[in-house]
Structure 1
Amino acid sequence: GNVAGDSKNDPPMGAASFNAQVIVINHPGQIGNGYAPVLDCHTAHIACKFSELLEKIDRRTGKSVENNPKFIKSGDSAIV
């Protein structure tokens, strides 16, 4: 998404890290801590790193099904 803010009063700032919900669509093998995908945002390609897999979640309900999973694979949704 995009970020909008007041440039004169508390402007938005870059983040060193953030948590994201990801859904693994089509990936061979398993994804674990330290995985480094490239994010595509409009025309930018930005390298990032999954420093920690926080929880695996049910794609339909959004509820946590496993804390600190060792890996995720195709079809899984997770907070990283």
Structure 2
Amino acid sequence: MAVSLRLNRKGTKDRPYYKIVAVDSRKRRDGRFIEQIGTYDPLLEGVNYTIDLAIADKWLAVGAKPSETVNSMIRKARTAAAASA
């Protein structure tokens, strides 16, 4: 099973909200997912995402492929975590 880390759209028309999820790559965008690893709200200013890096690293270690958007969020979260440590 090929797992990918990608966004799952929630919310209403003109008010999008996304879950960052680990999902079988053959599933639909908003279909069933394996595990939620974070959230993303594009309508917020500043840091508009949360991500659990431990869970993301677990999925990346077993071969999950992140989408471009999720990959950039993971990089930003790692940079912020390194700066605060």
- Of structures 1 and 2, the one with the larger relative CO (CA 8 A, separation 6+) is 1
Of Structure 1 and Structure 2, the greater strand share is in 2
Q: Shared fold by TM > 0.5? A: no
